């Protein structure tokens, strides 16, 4: 008996205690004599009581056939109709009520306990997925350990799946039925059978033995059964405790009666009843102690996370169900320790178990010590790497806050506050709920209303909004106001929609004795107001929160419409007043002018027109008074929204807009003439007049068609003058380029929407051609902003006016198609090399030595990424020749952190376009790096240097991008090897043939791609390699020849292991599993399959007619230059024989004949060695199969994580078909990672038995 671990179950007199139905099972109590002799029922070895009434046979009573077909030895057999005949099959199918299944088993138990228990034992064995069966002689003559050992030997090793882990609705239902069966079994047996010291002892002993097995299926299934059994026993103990309380109260009431009215017989019955209940409770406690110490204490730290999760989940149920007995430090410590578990699912179960406890405020006194001990751990889990765990941790902290505000310190709260800015919305929403509980739920409504009346406000939320503004400012993340609003939207929506109160706070005049909003607070309140308006009008989270727009429900749609009507009606009146007050503040005006885009324009058009007119006048004042791009773009967008033809206000807005553009256009033409006439003598006023009007016109031209004002002419004149004279101010040139670009796009829109004439097309072509020439000339401008603007516009226009312009039945636009010539392509590539692939130190020096802060560095990086992305698109869409990408690909490793995602995506897209040309581009990039290294270090390279290792690592990364399906990339990889071999033997050593060629070390780089060749292709490539080798080369073994030796070995090895790579990567992994017992297929079948693949590749003439060597673009900055030593030493080959390298490269027919010759040689060689090969392989296969059988005999106890971080990165690069751009982490995510402590170090886990002796508090 184990009594030290579980305390004596206390009586529970609380009226709020959960109770379970006390109705007795009729299958147990159909004998009226059972209730009179509880001490004598069902002891082992006792015959049935002679006074029992005759009952129906189980065969007659059991409709489901639990007893049908049973042999004498306890083996269940199938009846002729195919009905389920075992408990496992009945529970698995779940076609019958679980209570009737249990009642039938109870009837069979009363008839023959051994056979019934044998059914139950086989039920647990079969639920574990074991095919073995316990027979009656085994049950009677063998110990549990021997039975389990026997069942382990009969366990099916072909698959690691068992019923609890198999997916699918059938097995999901089975798990539920399995748990329900155990609970119903204890419930139906709780009045007699569980006290017979036979059934429960046998079941608990079996489950304890199974839970200690090395077989995962036994441990998992038995632990789940034992924990559900324990939960059912806790329920029984709770009922016993309640019955004891009731009996004690009845006894006290009867005893307190007067002597004459006291019923002594009733007192004796109550005493007997109390004694029986106490005895039953003692037995239940012993059962629970056995399960807890024999199973829970060992399995809550099992190697399998699912088993640990089951234990923690159930102990949480026990503590909530029977808190008087289990909610104490002796049991809470297990949950506290497991908060440090390495697996997220286990930590999640801990948090949910604690949430169920903290939800009941009456339990807080019992949790006080636990809270003090583990509060820091719970708060730190709000930054858990698993988002689901972090969400539940925040919810738990919120429950702790609700129960006791003093439990959390200010530092604890601040750790949760900043999570409202998390990019993961569930985390942010949970943190928003915490913030609402902490800051916005503690206020005096009466005092707020009194203050609102005194100030003349219509809303009492003024102080709460002030508090929100202060929190936003103190968080110092002003660009994330939309995230803050979205986090609070579900918990504080009423407060965030109080736009009347926000407007009153902004417009109210200062009152003596009361503090008004500062300028910084006003800006923050306006920004928050705009975010609340956007959230209400769009009804979806901001960008970066969520996976996309979801379909709104009817209720959400109605709420959205009501909110838009409400905000429109309010801001019709309030917006003009706000603009009038803040019209000189650029930041506030830019934010306020965003409000009209969220209006319901039907309501706005039907509103008071004098307010609309006032608003338009104020917008004109803003345009005239501001020169900032953000303000001007906001004004332009406002006009664009209000000029919709479907609304009645369109005419009035259009007239106002035309008047404004007329005035700006006239002023611009006049100022341009003055500037051009002044020439080099132009003063600052002339420059300012042109720049200010050009900025405004450019901002409006972005959203409005201003072609009738002919802005392109004067902008082109400004640009030409700047190019010719070299004295045009930087800002004017940038704005003129942008305005000209908009003008061209609007002209293209007109042509595509109408039926243009040939003259219209030619006129637009002349305009585009002249502007492209100007942009190309601006690439050599001394001002970096001008060059960057010209580059971006060039890339955009080349993309727009490319061959894709004629798709979609638009062949008439063919005259507008522009294809960049080689000089323009080279200039664009040189710009990328000079302005993108630069070191951070170089960039800092280029900005006049000023020291950049972190924000400027991020902005500069963002700009460079945009430049690279614009040029990469030209390569992807075949506007710029693919070989130009070689100069980009070669920077993949060096600039991986900055541009790795862009380069990887470019590589993926170009491979989809042309696999062979992409492979030739990759090898060209490696050749460029190799040539640069030769130029720096000379022909005698140090193959152990970091530079050579860097090229090899880049080649390895390139090889990984080819993916797992070698059939798809077969020709591309073969072409890559061919080009690499030709490059390695391109030049001969002038010292003589006994010395290696200068480029021979490149073969060591080429070795990285050998694993991507099929076995038969390795032989073909090796044959091609031998064409370049002399007999002397084959015999040399010096270190200087190691690259050739290594490359040859990589082509000659890997025969058997590549067999699996012949098939497509989508083939089933189980077929090639190393643990398969089916053995390998016959060797002749494999040979036939390989030869069929070889022959199919030989017959594919079209795919093998690859272009010759690529022409490298002529560069001016980073250019592939031939080594002068190599150029001088190069001897041209004359009178080459048929079948030589030159013929192979330039003659597809000769190429096919060469391949055919290689294949014929391979077939002949294969026929000569087939017999010897089969003999050698047969012995090896037998040894391999024998080794696999020995490996399978080893039971698996622990799950081992096989993949390292590096291997995971490699795998992510291999799957090119599902490749996605991995953007570098944002600043917020980096801050999150820096704030996250290491929760899962070895010191935090209780790994050994010594953990149980650790003091908890």
What would the DSSP string read from start to end of 499-542? HHHHHHHHHPPP-TTSPPPPHHHHHHHHHHHHHHHHHHHH-SPP
Q: What is the Cα–Cα distance from 789 to 371, expressed in whole angstroms? A: 59
At residue 137 the predicted structure's pLDDT band, cuts being 50, 70 and 90, is: confident
Closest CA to 74 of 29, 116, 42: 116
Torsion sign across C-alpha atoms 30, 33, 38, 42 = negative
Task: Give the pLDDT confidence score for residue 406 in this predicted structure.
Answer: 84
Closest CA to 197 of 99, 74, 280, 112: 280
Q: What is the Cα–Cα distance from 1197 to 1189, expressed in whole angstroms? A: 18
Q: With left for phi above 0 and alpha for psi between -120 and 50, is residue 963 left, alpha or beta? A: left
Cα end-to-end distance, the chain, whole Å:
28
Angle separating helix axes 387-403 and 425-435, nearest 10 degrees: 10
Task: Give the pLDDT confidence score for residue 208 in this predicted structure.
Answer: 94
Q: What is the Cα–Cα distance from 837 to 903, expressed in whole angstroms? A: 12
Give the percent of the chain with pLDDT over 70. 73
Angle separating helix axes 462-475 and 519-538, nearest 10 degrees: 100
Q: What is the Cα–Cα distance from 806 to 90, expressed in whole angstroms? A: 68
Average pLDDT over residues 365-378: 93
Task: Name the 3-class secondary structure at 67.
Answer: coil
Q: What is the Cα–Cα distance from 1155 to 1241, expressed in whole angstroms? A: 58
Q: What is the Cα–Cα distance from 524 to 510, expressed in whole angstroms? A: 18
Q: What is the pLDDT of residues 520-567, one digit of tens each?
A: 999 999 999 999 999 999 988 998 887 667 788 999 999 999 999 999
DSSP code for 165: T
Task: Name the 3-class secondary structure at 1058.
Answer: coil
User: 3-state DSSP helix/strand/coil percent for the chain, to nearest 5?
Assistant: 70, 0, 30
Q: What is the Cα–Cα distance from 685 to 842, expressed in whole angstroms? A: 36
**Lowest-confidence range among 507-511, 708-712, 879-883, 1237-1241?**
1237-1241
Instruction: Give the count of alpha carbons within 13 A of 933, CB side only.
Output: 23
Task: Give the pLDDT confidence score for residue 447 in this predicted structure.
Answer: 60
- Kindly report the pTM of this predicted structure: 0.72
Average pLDDT over residues 106-119: 91
Q: Which residue has the higher pLDDT, 256 or 868?
A: 868
Task: Name the 3-class secondary structure at 878.
Answer: coil
pLDDT surpassing 80 at residue 455: no
Q: What is the pLDDT of residues 16-70, one digit of tens each?
A: 333 333 333 334 434 433 433 333 333 333 333 333 333 333 333 333 333 433 4
Count CB atoms within 10 A of the CB of residue 1039: 8
**Lowest-confidence range among 165-169, 316-320, 783-787, 1135-1139?**
1135-1139
Paired tokens of 614: 């006032």
Count CB atoms within 10 A of the CB of residue 514: 10
At residue 1039 the predicted structure's pLDDT band, cuts being 50, 70 and 90, is: confident
Are the beta carbons of 893 and 1213 closer than 8 angstroms? no
Q: What is the pLDDT of residues 386-421, one digit of tens each?
A: 999 999 999 999 999 988 888 899 999 999 999 999
Average pLDDT over residues 1055-1073: 37
Cα angle, residue 755 at apex, residues 754 and 756 outer, rounded to 5°: 105
Average pLDDT over residues 1196-1211: 36
Paired tokens of 575: 């917006």
Task: Give the pLDDT confidence score for residue 470 in this predicted structure.
Answer: 92
Q: How far, rounded to the nearest angstrom, does the alpha carbon of residue 938 sit from its chain's CA centroid?
A: 47
Count CB atoms within 10 A of the CB of residue 831: 21
Task: Name the 3-class secondary structure at 849.
Answer: coil
At residue 1057 the predicted structure's pLDDT band, cuts being 50, 70 and 90, is: very low
φ and ψ at 1151, to 5 degrees? Answer: -60, -45
Q: Which residue, chain included where needed, has tokens 């009146």? A: 573
Count CB atoms within 10 A of the CB of residue 45: 5
């Amino acid at each position: 008996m184990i009594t030290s671990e579980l305390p004596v179950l206390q009586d529970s007199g609380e009226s709020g205690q959960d109770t379970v139905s006390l109705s007795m099972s009729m299958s147990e109590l159909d004998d009226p004599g059972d209730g009179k002799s509880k001490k004598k029922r069902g002891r082992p070895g006792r015959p049935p009581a002679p006074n029992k009434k005759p009952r129906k046979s189980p065969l007659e009573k059991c409709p489901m056939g639990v007893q049908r077909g049973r042999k004498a030895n306890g083996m269940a057999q199938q009846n002729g109709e195919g009905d389920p005949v075992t408990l496992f099959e009945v529970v698995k199918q779940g076609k019958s009520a679980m209570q009737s299944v249990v009642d039938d088993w109870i009837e069979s138990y009363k008839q023959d306990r051994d056979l019934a228990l044998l059914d139950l034992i086989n039920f647990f064995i079969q639920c574990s997925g074991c095919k073995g069966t316990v027979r009656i002689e085994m049950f009677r003559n063998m110990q549990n350990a021997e039975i389990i050992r026997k069942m382990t030997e009969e366990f099916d090793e072909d698959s690691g799946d068992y019923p609890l882990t198999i997916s699918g609705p059938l097995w999901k239902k089975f798990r539920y039925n399995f748990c329900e069966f155990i609970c119903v079994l204890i419930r139906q047996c709780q009045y007699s059978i569980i006290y017979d010291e036979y059934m429960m002892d046998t079941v608990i002993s079996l489950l304890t033995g199974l839970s200690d097995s090395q077989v995962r299926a036994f441990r998992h299934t038995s632990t789940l059964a034992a924990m559900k059994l324990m939960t059912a026993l806790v329920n029984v103990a709770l009922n016993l405790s309640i019955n004891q309380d009731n009996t004690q109260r009845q006894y006290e009431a009867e005893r307190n009666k007067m002597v004459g009215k006291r019923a002594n017989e009733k007192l004796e019955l109550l005493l007997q009843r109390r004694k029986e209940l106490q005895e039953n409770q003692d037995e239940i406690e012993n059962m629970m102690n056995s399960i807890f110490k024999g199973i829970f204490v060992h399995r809550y730290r099992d190697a399998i996370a699912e088993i640990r999760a089951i234990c923690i989940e159930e102990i949480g149920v026990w503590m909530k169900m029977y808190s008087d007995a289990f909610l104490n430090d002796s049991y809470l410590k297990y949950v506290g320790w497991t908060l440090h578990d390495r697996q997220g699912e286990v930590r999640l179960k801990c948090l949910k178990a604690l949430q169920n406890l903290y939800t009941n405020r009456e339990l807080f006194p019992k949790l006080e010590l636990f809270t003090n001990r583990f509060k820091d751990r719970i708060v730190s889990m709000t930054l858990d790497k698993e988002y689901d765990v972090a969400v539940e941790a925040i919810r738990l902290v919120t429950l702790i806050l609700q129960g006791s505000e003093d439990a959390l310190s200010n530092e604890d709260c601040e750790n949760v506050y900043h999570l409202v800015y998390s990019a993961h919305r569930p985390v942010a929403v949970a943190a928003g709920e915490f913030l609402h509980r902490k800051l916005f739920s503690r206020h005096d409504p009466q005092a707020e209303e009194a203050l609102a009346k005194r100030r003349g406000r219509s809303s009492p939320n003024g102080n709460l909004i002030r508090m929100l503004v202060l929190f936003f400012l103190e968080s110092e993340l002003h660009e994330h106001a939309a995230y803050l609003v979205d986090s609070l939207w579900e918990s504080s929506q009423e407060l965030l929609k109080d736009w009347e109160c926000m407007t009153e706070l902004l417009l109210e005049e200062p009152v003596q004795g009361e503090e008004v909003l500062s300028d910084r607070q006003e800006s923050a309140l306006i920004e928050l107001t705009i975010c609340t308006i956007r959230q209400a009008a769009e009804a979806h989270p901001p960008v970066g929160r969520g996976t996309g727009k979801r379909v709104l429900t009817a209720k959400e749609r109605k709420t959205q419409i009501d909110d838009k009507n409400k905000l429109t009606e309010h801001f019709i009146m309030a917006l003009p007043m706000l603009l009038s007050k803040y019209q000189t503040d650029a930041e506030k005006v830019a934010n306020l002018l965003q409000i009209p885009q969220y209006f319901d324009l039907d309501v706005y058009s039907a509103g008071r027109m004098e307010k609309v007119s006032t608003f338009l006048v104020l917008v004109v004042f803003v345009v005239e008074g501001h020169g900032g791009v953000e303000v001007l773009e906001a004004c332009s967008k406002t006009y664009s929204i209000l000029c919709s033809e479907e609304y009645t206000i369109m005419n009035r807005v259009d007239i106002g807009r035309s008047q404004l553009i007329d005035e700006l256009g006239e002023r611009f033409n006049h100022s341009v003439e003055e500037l051009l006439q002044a020439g080099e003598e132009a003063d600052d006023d002339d420059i300012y007049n042109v720049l200010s009007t050009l900025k405004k016109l450019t901002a409006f031209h972005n959203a409005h068609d201003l072609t009738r004002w002919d802005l392109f002419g004067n902008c082109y004149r400004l640009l030409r003058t700047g190019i010719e004279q070299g004295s045009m101010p930087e800002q004017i040139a940038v704005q003129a380029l942008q305005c000209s670009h908009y003008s061209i796009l609007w002209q293209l829109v007109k042509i595509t929407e109408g039926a243009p004439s040939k003259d219209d097309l030619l006129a637009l072509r002349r305009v585009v051609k002249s502007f492209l020439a100007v942009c190309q000339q601006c690439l050599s401008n001394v001002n970096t902003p001008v060059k960057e603007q010209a580059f971006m516009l060039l890339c955009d226009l080349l993309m727009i006016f490319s061959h894709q312009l004629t798709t979609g039945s638009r062949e008439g636009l063919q005259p507008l198609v522009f294809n960049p010539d080689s000089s323009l392509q080279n200039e664009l590539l040189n710009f990328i090399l000079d302005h993108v692939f630069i070191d951070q130190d170089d960039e800092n020096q280029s900005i006049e030595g000023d020291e950049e802060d972190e924000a400027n560095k991020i902005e500069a990086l963002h700009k460079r990424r945009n430049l690279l992305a614009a040029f990469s698109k030209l390569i992807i869409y075949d506007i710029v020749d693919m070989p130009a990408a070689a100069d980009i690909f070669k920077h993949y490793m060096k600039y991986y952190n900055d541009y790795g995602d862009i380069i990887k995506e470019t590589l993926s897209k170009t491979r989809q376009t042309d696999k062979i040309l992409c492979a030739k581009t990759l090898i060209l990039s490696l050749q460029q790096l190799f040539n640069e290294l030769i130029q720096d270090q000379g022909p005698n390279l140090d193959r152990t240097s970091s530079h050579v290792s860097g090229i090899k690592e880049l080649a390895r990364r390139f090889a990984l991008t080819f993916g797992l399906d070698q059939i798809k990339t077969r020709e591309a990889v073969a072409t890559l090897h061919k080009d690499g071999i030709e490059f390695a033997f391109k030049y001969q050593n002038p010292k003589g043939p006994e010395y290696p060629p200068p480029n021979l070390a490149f073969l060591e780089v080429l070795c990285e791609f050998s694993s991507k060749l099929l076995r038969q292709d390795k032989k073909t490539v090796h044959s091609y390699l031998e064409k370049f080798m002399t007999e002397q080369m084959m015999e040399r073994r010096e270190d200087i020849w190691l690259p050739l030796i290594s490359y040859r070995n990589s082509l000659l090895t890997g025969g058997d292991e590549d067999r699996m790579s012949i098939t497509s990567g989508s083939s089933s992994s189980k077929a090639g599993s190393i643990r398969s017992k089916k053995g390998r297929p016959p060797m002749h079948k494999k040979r036939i399959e390989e030869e069929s693949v070889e022959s199919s590749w030989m017959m594919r003439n079209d795919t093998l007619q690859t272009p010759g060597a690529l022409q490298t673009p002529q560069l001016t900055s980073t250019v592939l230059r031939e080594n002068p030593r190599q150029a001088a030493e190069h001897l041209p080959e004359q009178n080459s024989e048929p079948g030589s390298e030159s013929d192979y490269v330039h003659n597809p027919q000769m190429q096919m004949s060469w391949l055919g010759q290689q294949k014929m040689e391979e077939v002949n060689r294969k026929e000569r060695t087939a017999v010897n090969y089969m003999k050698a392989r047969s012995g090896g296969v037998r040894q391999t199969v024998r080794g696999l059988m020995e490996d399978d005999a080893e039971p698996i106890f622990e799950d081992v994580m096989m993949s390292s971080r590096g291997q995971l990165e490699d795998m992510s690069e291999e799957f090119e078909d599902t490749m996605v751009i991995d953007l570098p982490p944002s600043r917020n995510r980096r801050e999150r990672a820096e704030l996250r402590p290491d929760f899962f170090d070895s010191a935090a886990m209780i790994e050994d038995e010594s953990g149980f002796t650790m003091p908890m508090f």
